[in-house]
Structure 1
């Protein structure tokens, strides 16, 4: 891991970007204190539905129940926040 001051990083950004592309992590400092890391970009994955299905199957869960009320998206009554709770 390489450490570079923010002033040097500003002047050498292209060079540092090439190093990061090659897998290097670079710590940028201000007044000797770390403020950020330059790291290689990692593509984020989404939800792996097949892995979820495999997990459920491995644990003997053959179906799941999900319930969303029909009025879930309906507007709340105007006095909703000032009404005392009923429970």
Structure 2
């Protein structure tokens, strides 16, 4: 990991950006103490929809979610967290 003073970083921003694009991490310091890091962006993750469809096809799955209640995302009642649970007998 490379350390560079903030004054020098200000003057060499384009060069530093190229180095970071190449995968390098650069720590910018002020008075010898780190104040920030220049890091490459993280690769975007997410759902592999193609793989998901292949899995469904291979296992003969037509539908994952059969039913979602119409009020699924409605706000919970105000007293939801303080109401006692019903007793199980």
* TM superposition score category, shorter chain reference: 0.5 to 0.7
| Aligned equivalents of 2:42, 2:76: Cα separation in 1 | 41
Deviation digits for residues 26-64 of structure 1 (CA, Å, limit 9, x no counterpart): 32143366952432x466365332221112333x24233
Q: Look up the SS of the partner of 1:52 in the other structure.
A: helix
Q: Look up the SS of the partner of 1:63 in the other structure.
A: coil
Contact 1:4–1:26 under 8 Å retained in 2: no
| Aligned equivalents of 1:72, 1:83: Cα separation in 2 | 20
Instruction: Flag the 1:6–1:57 CA change in 2: closer, same or farther, 3 A.
Output: farther
Gapped regions of structure 2 (runs ≥ 5): none
Contact 1:5–1:32 under 8 Å retained in 2: no
Aligned to 2:25: 26
| Aligned equivalents of 1:42, 1:83: Cα separation in 2 | 43
Runs of 4+ in 1 over 4 A off after TM superposition: 32-35
Q: Look up the SS of the partner of 2:26 in the other structure.
A: strand
| Aligned equivalents of 1:86, 1:32: Cα separation in 2 | 57
Gapped regions of structure 1 (runs ≥ 5): none
Alignment root-mean-square deviation, CA? 3.2
